[in-house]
A and B are shown apart, each in its own frame.
Chain A
Amino acid sequence: MTEKMNIVEAINAALHDEMEENEDVIVYGEDVGEDGGVFRATKELQEEFGEERCFSSPLAESGIAGTAIGMSLYGFNPVVEMQFSGFSYLAFHQIKEHAARFRMRSRGDYTSPITVRAPYGGGINALEHHQESPETFFAHSKGIHTVIPSTPQDAYSLLRKSIQKEDPVMFLEPKKTYRAFKEEVDRDKKVELNDCRIAQEGNDLTLISWGAMIPLAEEAAEEVDADIEIIDVRTIQPNDYDEIVESIEKTGRAAILHEDSKTGGMGGDIAGKLQEDAILHMEAPVERITAPDVPYPLYTLEEEYMPDKDQVVNGIREVLEF
């Protein structure tokens, strides 16, 4: 049975279904209780499952992540919310140095199966620090999975899978597209982590992207007179990107689109992978279409900062015409 949902509804449904299925799943974070979260992703969970299992916590990101680790060591599966990914840096130490390392540190004796959710990325005219794209920080943290869904179906299926994982997961939610569109979501559909998704098949160029940039990638692909394959990376790390290499073997051309800035962005890693494994199949250099290497601006300049359709179209054309 399927049901039409947008991304935020799909996240709410995934949390609901996991809580129903496993009583050790608990949900907490700033304002997630009565308020249902500032984006309503945890809407009505407290009403249904009670304050013991869904509650608002003190305002302290490290405290939220660190206590979740402690609770996970004692048998819970906490799903905690960072109100905005730009504030997740306060919890970064707990996630990277503790959640990610308990298995290694104890030779598999302890694990910390927490899921940390955070609204991610820009494009909503929010305040400073509310629009960051910190995926590379988490991708660089070995021992955790960093997941960014781009569709309601993936948001639902990947979040359920993340909660079920015996590993910590950083689940970044593209908030620009939280309510942008709806699609049929099949609650029985299971999706594995660590794989890419072919969002659109094509033969002329592979456009690699994730999160809120996927709809932009699709729009841009329609504008150009070529057959574009779009790959939604969706698990940033660990991901061997072999699906991208396979695609390049077919298309011979690649462009990478992400809303994070260029230097240190994941586009560099993917380009490096293609250089190592697909160079002899490539007809053109890899193009990276990204934000510039400056801090995310206050919102009057947001549109100039984020990649737009023209930039993507131009980027694609450059690769096609090389």
Chain B
Amino acid sequence: MREEVYSGSIQRIEVMGTDDDDDFPWVEEDEYRELYKQMVLARKFDEKAFSLQRRGEISTYAPHKGQEAAQIGAMFALDEDDWMAPSFRETAAFIARGAPLDKIFQRWMGDANGQAGLSEMNTLPVAIPVGTQNLHTAGIGMAMEKKGDENAVLGFTGDGSTSQGDFHESLNFSGVYNAHSIFFVQNNQYAISMPREKQTKSETIAQKALAYGIDGIQVDGNDILAVIKAVEEALEKARSGEPVLIEAETYRLEDHTTSDDSTRYRDEEEVEEWSKKDPLKRFKEYLKDHGIWTDELEEFEEEAENRIDEAAQKAIEMDDPDIEELFDYVYGDNPDLIEKQKEQWMEAQK
């Protein structure tokens, strides 16, 4: 005898240009404008960081162009007491969270002081290894459940990370312990040069949730309203102990980092196709179509550029960290060994 013991399905959320948009307005009018402004700021940040890298002010930069809707939409849905755990391409998310622009530049310029003070906004510092930060998202979500708190943690990760063991362990632990965790996969189609279809044989990334007994949903990651809707739904579940995996389908319009040359592994036509779905352009058209567009938004581009330039300049002019900082954040109370080496290194500088 054989019988079906499990079957599952995955749904996808889209809003812009669909019947669902009858629910307009999704958010307050001024919130629409704020979202657009954040997207413009993020785009300008990206452009500036790129040129600073070319000028040698930044060593390596990971652009997020094309992923603004995914990141800013997700952050918009969070409340202040919800936590955020980034990977390394979440500069737009940091901007949406309210991290000072000059501090974000400072971190990209190689100074960890740009990541000081993040605990005030329940935000973790950037983690560079791929996918390992998902376990912190799981652990924070487990802790929220244990403390009886009614908040949640959203952790960003990429399509490449879903091949990592830690990603799967994160989903597994979260399911077992009713973690208040949302795993937000930005499926930007490439892990450096590896296209999504070579990364996994799964038809969707969202369906990986089903194996762990948690909810999975796919969302058009270039549709900021769909992202907000998906994350709001996920938050409602996660806050009561039902973790969620969200796959935001999006596209990295730029190279993986400033050290990468994406023309070697993807063709122009593909990039052009996705450029038509550029989340910033789409949102701008949407706002115009719905009568929310204002002259102020028209002029914001210049203001954003100025703010970004000022922040970048401020970061450039910041002093490098003192040498003693090498030794000051290794241990809580410095052991003798570290104190002695600190003295030696300080002495050598004189």
| Chain A interfacial positions (CB closer than 8 Å to B) | 26, 52, 57-58, 60, 62-63, 65-76, 93-94, 97-98, 102-111, 142-143, 145, 165-167, 193-194, 237-240, 242
Contact = CB atoms under 8 A, between A and B. Distances in A.
A62 B169 CA distance: 8
A206 to B, nearest CB: 19
Contacts of B336: 194, 240, 242
Interface in B107-125: 112-113, 115-119, 124-125
B58 to A, nearest CB: 18
A63 to B, nearest CB: 3
Given A102-B125, A108-B116, A194-B337, 17 more contacts: A52-B146, A57-B173, A58-B172, A58-B173, A60-B169, A63-B135, A67-B142, A71-B139, A73-B124, A73-B143, A74-B140, A106-B125, A110-B119, A143-B330, A145-B331, A238-B335, A239-B337
B142 A70 contact: yes
Contact of B332 (A67, A106, A107, A166): A166
B244 interface: no
B329 A108 contact: yes
Given A60-B169, A194-B337, A70 B112 contact: no
A70 B169 contact: no
A145 to B, nearest CB: 8
Contacts of A102: 125
A98 B127 contact: yes
Nearest to B326: A104
B329 A239 contact: no
Give the most central of A67, A76, A103: most B CB within 10 Å. Answer: A67
14 contacts: A62-B169, A70-B138, A70-B141, A73-B136, A75-B147, A106-B112, A106-B115, A107-B116, A107-B325, A109-B116, A110-B125, A143-B331, A145-B331, A240-B340
B47 interface: no
B203 to A, nearest CB: 26
Interface residues of B, number: 47
B335 A75 contact: no
B contacts with A: majority SS = helix
A145 B332 CA distance: 11
A63 B173 contact: yes
Contacts of A58: 169, 172-173, 176
A63 B144 contact: no
B132 interface: yes
A142 B330 contact: yes
A322 B138 CA distance: 58
A75 B169 contact: no
Given A58-B176, A63-B166, A106 B116 contact: yes
A76 B119 CA distance: 15
Given A74-B147, A110-B124, A242-B336, A94 B330 contact: no
